Amino acid sequence: MEELCHWIDGKEVKGTSGRYADVYNPATGEIQARLPLATPAELDAAIASAERAQVIWAATNPQRRARVMMKFGQLINDNMDMLAEVVSREHGKTLPDARGDVQRGLEVIEVCMGTPAMLKGEYTDSAGPGIDLYSMRQPLGVVAGITPFNFPAMIPLWKMGPALAAGNAMILKPSERTPSTAIELAKLAKAAGVPDGVLQVVNGDKEVVDAILDNPVIQAVGFVGSTPIAQYIYGRAATNGKRAQCFGGAKNHMLIMPDADLDKAADALIGAGYGAAGERCMAISVAVPVGQKTADALIERLVPRIEKLKVGPYTAGDDVDFGPVITRAAHDRINSLIASGVEQGANLVVDGRNLKIQGYENGFFCGPSLFDNVTRDMDIYKEEIFGPVLSTVRADTYEDALNLVIDNNYGNGTSIFTADGDTARDFASRVNVGMVGINFPIPVPLSYYTFGGWKKSAFGDLNQYGPDAFRFYTKTKTVTARWFSGIKEGASLNFKAMD
C-alpha cells in the first residue's frame, strides 16, 4: 500500500509520528494509501524552516514573484490532466468536474500574475510643509491554510496563490481525505521557482490544526470547511492574535418565479444540486418555486431529468454525471437525513437510497434524491446535507420566498430565476447573502472579484482571492516623512494638524 508524505523544504518527507490516516477510493470503498499525521514537533520544524525562507522570498521584488506565478500557472495548465486524475482518484468526482476544480484554482494564480499592481501603496506629496505621506503593503510572514476535501486543487490554490505572491511563506494543511493534490501542486510550485521552504505541506488531523492555531510564528490562518469547525478555528486563532478568514457551511436557495423559463431553471437545478454529488459549499440544495402552479410545473420537469442522471466511478468517463460521496460515514448520514425527511412529512419524489453499482458494491454511492413540500422545521431543511439531495420548499409569494432566504442561518450563495428585471434587482439588493446569482445557479465570482459568504457561512472580515486576499495576507505600513529644507520651526508640545 502506498504511504504518502509531507512536503518540507522542497522535497517529500516521510512522517515520523507513527500515526496514520487511511485514504480511501470512494468508488470501491477500499483503502488506497496511508497518510502520516504530523506531530506538533514536526510542524514546528516546518514552520521554523518556512520562517527562514520567507525572509529571502519577501525581499524578492513583486515583479519577480509575479513571474514565478506566471510559470506556476503555465505548469498547472500543462499538467491539468494529471492533476484532475489525482483529484478524481481520491475524491471520486468525474474528470470533467475535477478539471473544473483545477481550472478555477488556476484562475486565481492568473490574477496573482498582477501582484505588483495588487501591492501598490499610496503617496501624497506635500501633505504638510515639507511633509510627504505614503503607505506600503508588506507580507505578514508565515501564514497557514487549512483546506477541505471537496476541492483538493481549487481551494489550496486560492490560499497559496495570493499568500505566496504577497511575499509570505505558507504552511498548507490539506484534508486528510484528499491530500495528494496538494503535494503535486507543491512540486509544480517548486518547478516554477518558489524557493524551498516557502511552501510547506504538512498533513495532520486536529492535533496539527491546534498546533497551527497556537504557534506564535504563524500570523494568519485561512480555513474552509464546516461551520462548527470554522467558528472554532476563528475563535482560537483570534484568541492567539492571528488574522483568520474561516468559511463554513451553506444552505443555498434558488428562487423560481412564475415568469421564469422553467426548462432553464430545471436544468440549472440539476447541475447545481447534483454536480459533484452535492459536495459543494455553493451547491443549490433548496429550490423555492413561487406559486403552486410554478411548483407543480417545476417538479414535472425535474423528475425525468433526475431519473436520467448516471452515477458511477470516474473511470467510466462520459457515461457518468457524478460519482460517490467521500466516505461511508457521509453516505450513511445522507441516507439518514433522507429517512428523517420522510418521517417528518416531506414528499420523497425521487429516492436515491440503496443505489448499487455492479462491480462497485462497496463504493460510497448515493443516488439523486428529490423532496417536495419541505418545510423549514424539517431536519433536511435545517441541516447542510452535503449530498445529492434537492429539497423543494413551496412559497406562496415572492416576499415569502425572499424571507425564507433572509431568515436562514447560512448566507453563502443564493440565486433567482426570473424574466423581470425589477424583481431581480430587488432580490439582489435586499437578500442578506454574500454571493447572488440572477438566472445563474452557482454564483461563484470570477477570480478578480472575491469569494465569501455572510452569517454563519463565514467568520472574519476579508474574503478569499481577489483584492481582499492581498489585503488579508499583507499589513499596511504608513510613513510620514519630513525634510527640513527651508523650514524654521521650534519645538512644540501641541498635537496639531500638519497643514
The reported pLDDT for the residue numbered 232 is 98
Is residue 484, in this structure, part of any structural domain at all? no
What pLDDT, on the 0 to 100 scale, is given for residue 240?
97
Residue with cell string 501582484: 115
- Residues 129-159: pLDDT tens digits? 889 999 999 999 999 999 999 999 999 999 9
Q: Does 281 participate in catalysis according to the annotation? A: yes
Task: Provide the CATH number for the domain around residue 9.
Answer: 3.40.605.10
**Mean pLDDT calculated for residue range 256-265:** 98
Q: Do 347 and 398 sit in the same domain of this protein?
A: yes
Residues 300, 162, single domain; the answer is no
This prediction's pTM: 0.95
Helix (H) / strand (E) containing 347: strand 347-350
| pLDDT surpassing 70 at residue 485 | no
Collapsing DSSP to helix, strand or coil, 410 comes out as strand
pLDDT mean across residues, the chain: 96
Which pLDDT does position 392 carry in this prediction?
A: 98
Instruction: Compute how many other C-beta atoms are within 10 angstroms of the C-beta atom of residue 134.
Output: 15
Of 5, 112, 246, 281, the catalytic one is: 281
Query: Per the domain annotation, does 23 fall within a domain?
Result: yes
Our count of domains for the chain comes to 2
Q: How far apart are CA 20 and CA 36, in angstroms?
A: 4
Beta bridge partners of 244: 221
In a domain, 45, yes or no: yes
CB 278 within 8 A of CB 286: no
Checking if the pLDDT of 457 tops 60, the result is yes
Same domain membership, residue 222 and residue 75: yes
5 is written with which cell numbers? 508524505
Co-location of 426 and 475 in the same domain: no
Question: What's the CATH number where 405 sits?
Answer: 3.40.309.10
- CA dihedral 81→87→89→91, nearest 10 degrees, is -150
Q: Tell me the pLDDT tens digit for each residue of 93-121.
A: 999 999 999 999 999 999 999 999 999 99
- Mean pLDDT score, 322-332: 98
Q: Whose CA is closest to 43, among 301, 275, 218?
A: 218
CB 225 within 8 A of CB 208: no
Asked if the model's pLDDT at residue 427 lies above 70, the reply is yes
Q: DSSP letter at 378?
A: S
Between CA 352 and CA 19 the distance in angstroms is: 37
Same domain, 45 and 105: yes
Q: Is residue 491 in a domain?
A: no
Q: Is the pLDDT of residue 486 over 70?
A: no
Instruction: Quote the distance between the C-alpha of residue 183 and its chain's center.
Output: 18
Same domain, 369 and 348: yes
Per DSSP, the residues of 154-199 read HHHHHHHHHHHHTT-EEEEE--TTS-HHHHHHHHHHHHHTPPTTTE
Domain that holds residue 397: 252-438
Handedness of CA 268, 463, 188, 150 (dihedral sign): negative
For residues 131, 134, 140, 145, the Cα torsion angle rounded to the nearest 10 degrees is 160
Res 51: pLDDT: 98
